[in-house]
Homo-oligomer: A and B are copies of this chain.
Amino acid sequence: MPRRLPNLNQLRAFEATARHLSFKDAASELFVTQAAISHHVKALELDFGHQLFQRHGREISLTEEARRFVADITPALDQIAEATATLKSKGLTGTLKLSMAGFLADRVVRPRLAEFKALYPELQLEFSYSRDIVDFSTVEIDAAVIYGEGTRKGLASIVICNERVPVCSSSLMEGLELPVSAEQIARLPLATTKGHTTGWLDWFSAAGIDDTSSLNFIEFETGGHTLDFATTGDGVALVADFPLIQHELSTGALVIINPLTITRDYGIYLFFPETQNPDPKILAFADWLKSVAAQIQAG
């Protein structure tokens, strides 16, 4: 007799909801909207012929049967997750040599190294620092994380995050209301890295402002400096909607002053030499880095 399983996507939605006791939070964990979760849970309740949650206004609680049911399936899902992690990491041993800008390593990768180690226990990461692309033929590097355009000759690339939003310090916001209009932003000092004003030009173009002659750019050596400039309240930076600024956003040191996000070629990419079969270690790292980005964007 073949095994009879419920719809497993619905099951996952239910389990996440049960953990959070919130449709909204479950939705954010699974990177979907609250409506999607609501649909899933409702379908599951219909299938099972039992209520799974009691709804009291904006609160929900598990029914007696549902409580028992989660207790049964949670370890099962854990086991699947663990077996999957083990399988994925299998064979990924050795060292992956990465090049990236210092502020990316400091702010994004290193603080989460433990998490990465848990997923790929036998994989060592080695860092070297370069804000720009390296020459793979002369430097012994497997892959490079670059904040820039997504295509380079002879290199394969994987998008990590190509959405960018304008941020500034809350102190600069005095007297202004969120969202700050693009016209107002155009009058503020705009931080960029040297020679990379394209991002801002794209952003204003997306905001419907084409006269960019009067923009006031302040150029810096590194992306970290543009962030510092914004953080100290001296101007606005255009940054990837990425773990980069997670801490600052949550403490309120930085604020997204206009929700307009541009998705252009300019963003964070992982580059590596083009081959038929890319090194699985690189793919694993790219996969992980993307998940880090996704986690943040989901709030």
A residues with CB within 8 A of B: 1-6, 8-9, 11-12, 16, 29-30, 48-50, 65, 68-69, 72-73, 75-88, 90-92, 115, 280, 283-284, 291, 295
Shortest Cβ distance from residue A97 to the other chain B in the assembled complex, whole angstroms? 19
In-complex Cβ contact of A76 among B68, B80, B87 (8 A): B80
A9-B9, A76-B76, A79-B73 in contact; A48/B4 too (CB < 8 A)?
A: no
Query: Are A84 and B49 touching (Cβ within 8 A)?
Result: no
Asked if residues B2 and A29 are in contact (CB atoms below 8 Å), the reply is: yes
* Complexed CA–CA distance, A11 and B5 (Å): 12
Contacts known (A8-B9, A90-B50); A81 close to B283, Cβ less than 8 A: no
Chain B residue contacts of A92, Cβ below 8 A: 49
Complex: A65 Cα to B88 Cα, angstroms: 10
How close is A263's CB to chain B, nearest CB, in angstroms? 24
Q: Is the CB of A73 within 8 A of B80?
A: yes
Number of copies: 2
B115 contacts A81, C-beta separation under 8 Å: no
12 A–B pairs (Cβ distance < 8 Å), ordered by A:
A2-B29, A2-B30, A4-B81, A5-B81, A8-B9, A8-B12, A48-B87, A49-B280, A50-B88, A69-B83, A69-B86, A75-B76
- Give every chain B residue within 8 A of A88 (Cβ-Cβ): 48-50
- Known contacts A5-B80, A73-B79; 16 further A-B pairs (Cβ under 8 A): A4-B85, A4-B291, A5-B77, A5-B84, A6-B80, A48-B88, A49-B280, A49-B283, A49-B284, A50-B91, A65-B87, A69-B83, A69-B84, A69-B86, A72-B80, A73-B80
Known A-B contacts A49-B284, A87-B69; the reply to A11 vs B80 at CB < 8 A is: yes
Contacts of A50 in B (CB 8 A): 87-88, 90-91
